[in-house]
Amino acid sequence: MRIPLEKAAHLLQQGHVVAIPTETVYGLAASLHHPDAVKKIFTIKNRPQKNPLIVHVRSIDEAFEYSALEPDFLHALLAAFWPGPLTIVVPAQVNSVPEAARAGLSTVALRMPSHPLAAALLQQISPLVAPSANRSGKPSATDPEHVEADFGLSFPVLDGGHCSLGIESTILIYDTRGWRMGRRGALSREAIAQVLGYIPDYSTSEQPLCPGQLLKHYSPNAALTLSTISYEQCPHRLPVVVGFCDRQYRGAHTFFSFGASSNVEEVARNLYKVLRDLDAARIQAAWVDIDFPSENLWDTIRERLYKASQSNAQSMSS
């Protein structure tokens, strides 16, 4: 059910869970101060209890109420990227952040979204915990229709249209030796490096710094065959192709477009919609063109597609 801003604020104040738009993906929001609503998020999403939630705040100053780090230490980073698609994981003021949201960890994930509706909502009720608004393991939701597909037409959704970035926030994790990348995301590592003065390391996939990175992710029902080999030359080509509108896939039967291969922002924006469109069309198996550059946002898109294809398909590279 599409609801206006005032109604969303009211429901959240009453301890309900509401889907809200952000510039990255839709979130399943609840007030941090309503423990039952926070618990409900885990049930609705079928999310493992050990996977902590991001706390969304309305200002940099509000973040300091939940972080145990010195404000001066965080200032340059937050001033450069907030509001926007950066989440920081820092030692928590444990008395201010209920254990359920932290999944028992001593750290807290904090983010200030830039979407105008999310910002306006946070002016009325803050902070809000919000994981991505999809059933656990499924592609994230970048349109109100995606939320409705996962949670039903009567689920309350604040309609902010299509998310402008389409990929989750980048997660930086504080460590006494410096910042490390907990999750690739919409904000590039290169942009972060310019502010930090060094390139933050990635955590390894065997030992992720974010508990959620261990889990099955972003997967449509369709088995995805990822390929860097051209369609015409690939011995494993399939009739259904996911690729770019400015390329030819001779002999393909059905085509789903990420957008133009020259426009990485457009591809990011369309990524989850395309994965969800495969399910809506009841596609069983698709061949996916991943012949694109190794840099910034492309790398993030590639990583999401690898995860989406895991356990149900093969990958090929030239």
Q: Which residues bind ligand TXA (CB under 6 A)?
A: 22, 24-25, 27, 51-54, 87, 89, 102, 105, 107-109, 111, 113, 130-132, 168-169, 171, 182-183, 209-213
* Nearer of residues 45 and 237 to ligand TXA, judged by Cβ: 45
* Nearer of residues 126 and 169 to ligand TXA, judged by Cβ: 169
* 155, 58 contact by CB (below 8 A): no
Positions in 121-140 near Mg ion (CB under 5 A): 132
* Nearer of residues 111 and 237 to ligand TXA, judged by Cβ: 111
Least distance to ligand TXA from the beta carbon of 190, Å?
19
Least distance to Mg ion from the beta carbon of 258, Å?
20
4: which residues sit within 8 A by CB, 6+ positions away?
Answer: 158
* Nearer of residues 81 and 244 to ligand TXA, judged by Cβ: 81
* Nearer of residues 272 and 287 to ligand TXA, judged by Cβ: 272
Q: Does 142 bind Mg ion (CB under 5 A)?
A: no
Region class of 158: left (phi > 0), else alpha (psi between -120 and 50), else beta: beta
Cα angle vertex 35, ends 31, 38, to 5°? 60
* 272, 217 contact by CB (below 8 A): no
126 binds, among Mg ion, ligand TXA, none (CB under 5 to 8 A by kind): none
**294 vs 297: CA distance, rounded Å:** 9
129: which residues sit within 8 A by CB, 6+ positions away?
Answer: 29, 30, 31, 32, 38, 41, 53, 54, 55, 56, 101
Tokens 């959704």: give the residue: 157
* Nearer of residues 31 and 132 to Mg ion, judged by Cβ: 132
230 binds, among Mg ion, ligand TXA, none (CB under 5 to 8 A by kind): none
Q: Which two tokens stand for residue 235?
A: 């011995």
Least distance to ligand TXA from the beta carbon of 175, Å?
11
Least distance to ligand TXA from the beta carbon of 14, Å?
21
3-state DSSP of 79-120:
HHHCCCCEEEEEEECCCCCCHHHHCCCCEEEEECCCCHHHHH
* 180, 192 contact by CB (below 8 A): no
Least distance to Mg ion from the beta carbon of 132, Å?
3
Least distance to ligand TXA from the beta carbon of 60, Å?
16
Binding site for Mg ion (CB under 5 A): 132
